[in-house]
Structure 1
Amino acid sequence: MDTLEAIRTRRSVRRFSDRPVEAEKLRSVLEAARMAPSWANMQCWRFVVVQDPGVKRRISEHAVADSFNTAKGYKSNPSQRALAEAPVVIVACAECNRSGDMGGQQYYMTDVGMAVASLMLAAHAVGLGSVFVGIFDEKQVGSLLGIPAYISIVGLIPLGYPLDAPECGAPRKSLDEIVRYGTWGD
């Protein structure tokens, strides 16, 4: 699958089969994250790969229900289920002092975001599904995994083979709605 096809067809996957993820595919998606761009090539990202079912279940307990899920009428948090059921959970972290900080704006979120986007696109390209979970109790997950206090947890990525073919994505806005050329008013 070429890059543009992966971008066009990747969807968030929240239901996973119990088929294990092969070590070479896992390594391939982690390699894609490693190759992402970062502030001054500082590569602040760090990843914890969790495959133990008990630990994944405990991580899922710390995913916080959000107003989006409530508004959608979900009786349970689909992120919690995805974290518990996926064969792999990748915990995306940042060593914050290894990224840019200019004018009070820290760039570690951008750095990790680019790495996670690469990881998720690579996962799709090799037949795996994933979803980004960004609402969780960072202190509890960090304590559970023994993550040092100077490391910030940015997101949780359940990863595995999709249980079902992912639904078509939500309609995307047209370029006319999101792009300005020259200046905002043009």
Structure 2
Amino acid sequence: VDEEWQGLDENVAHVPFIAERYSEAEMIKRSRSFYELLNKRRSVRFLSDEPVPREVIDNVIRTAGTSPSGAHTEPWTFVVVQDPDLKHKIREIVEEEEEINYKKRMGDRWVNDLKRLRTNWIKEYLDTAPYLILIFKQVYGRLPNGKKKTHYYNEISVSIACGMLLAALQLLEVNRRQLMDTVPWTTISSSSLQKIIDTTEYERRIA
């Protein structure tokens, strides 16, 4: 018997799937509306410090958690950071890594391509944003018996979840007077974060 199957409950009841059907006109309307919503998304680096209800953040993360994943392993961890001191420590780590990227790792072509976007390694918005959401992929999991559990396509699965998170956050833009803007960043190493964030040995930061 495969050890990964040991300790798993195979008697979980299946939930019947009932699909709601729409007319062609309604499908066109909905698809167009969704496109127009997401087409408004921008990678904004000047963020408001206006408070956001924590329940809002929890709900968008729940939305991301509905994402498909390899063998339904759900190999993601979302860490919400609100504490100003911790946000600043994260900013310091990010800026240290980003400066190395701009000056050594990325190369002249990459740096030149970024000039028109007017970006650099200074990330003051990491202090300003009410919340930072750190996203980790779980390269494997742990079974109740302590054995490793394989997480298939973990990076692809978490990447899809990141997209759903951004879409959920974009939805808030039309529902709030103040925009709920986002800027993804992917440059800091897991080892740097593990010094200040309590993660497991099988979690790797992805965004």
Partner of 1:126: 172
Q: Aligned partners of 1:133, 1:13: CA distance in 2, in Å?
A: 11
What secondary structure, in the 3-state scheme, does the structure 2 residue paired with 1:31 have? helix
* Number of residue pairs aligned between Structure 1 and Structure 2: 148
Q: Aligned partners of 1:143, 1:16: CA distance in 2, in Å?
A: 26
Partner of 1:94: 137
Output the TM-score relative to the length of structure 1.
Answer: 0.71
What secondary structure, in the 3-state scheme, does the structure 1 residue paired with 2:78 have? strand
After superposition, residues 1-186 of structure 1 pair within 5 angstroms as 2-63=33-94, 64-65=97-98, 66-67=101-102, 70-71=111-112, 72=114, 76-78=120-122, 80-98=123-141, 99-100=151-152, 107-127=153-173, 128-155=180-207
Percent identity, please: 26
What is the RMSD of the two structures over their aligned residues, measured on CA atoms? 2.1
Output the TM-score relative to the length of structure 2.
Answer: 0.65
Query: How big is the shift at 1:70?
Result: 4.8
Query: How big is the shift at 1:47?
Result: 0.7
In the TM superposition, what whole-angstrom CA distance separates every residue of 1:151-185 from its partner, at most 9, and x where no partner exists? 11111xxxxxxxxxxxxxxxxxxxxxxxxxxxxxx
In the TM superposition, what whole-angstrom CA distance separates every residue of 1:82-113 from its partner, at most 9, and x where no partner exists? 3222110011012111521xxxxxx2211111
Q: 2:162 is aligned with what amino acid?
A: V
Q: Do the aligned partners of residues 109 and 35 (structure 1) sit closer, same or farther apart at CA in structure 2, a change above 3 Å counting?
A: same
What secondary structure, in the 3-state scheme, does the structure 1 residue paired with 2:140 have? helix
Asked whether the equivalents of residues 47 and 93 of structure 1 are also in contact (C-alpha less than 8 Å), the reply is yes
Q: Aligned partners of 1:82, 1:112: CA distance in 2, in Å?
A: 24
Q: Aligned partners of 2:189, 2:63: CA distance in 1, in Å?
A: 27
Q: Aligned partners of 1:45, 1:114: CA distance in 2, in Å?
A: 11
Q: Which has the larger radius of gyration?
A: 2
Q: Do the aligned partners of residues 6 and 137 (structure 1) sit closer, same or farther apart at CA in structure 2, a change above 3 Å counting?
A: same
Q: Aligned partners of 1:20, 1:33: CA distance in 2, in Å?
A: 22
What secondary structure, in the 3-state scheme, does the structure 2 residue paired with 1:46 have? strand
Asked whether the equivalents of residues 94 and 153 of structure 1 are also in contact (C-alpha less than 8 Å), the reply is yes
Q: Do the aligned partners of residues 53 and 93 (structure 1) sit closer, same or farther apart at CA in structure 2, a change above 3 Å counting?
A: same
Structure number with the higher strand fraction is 1
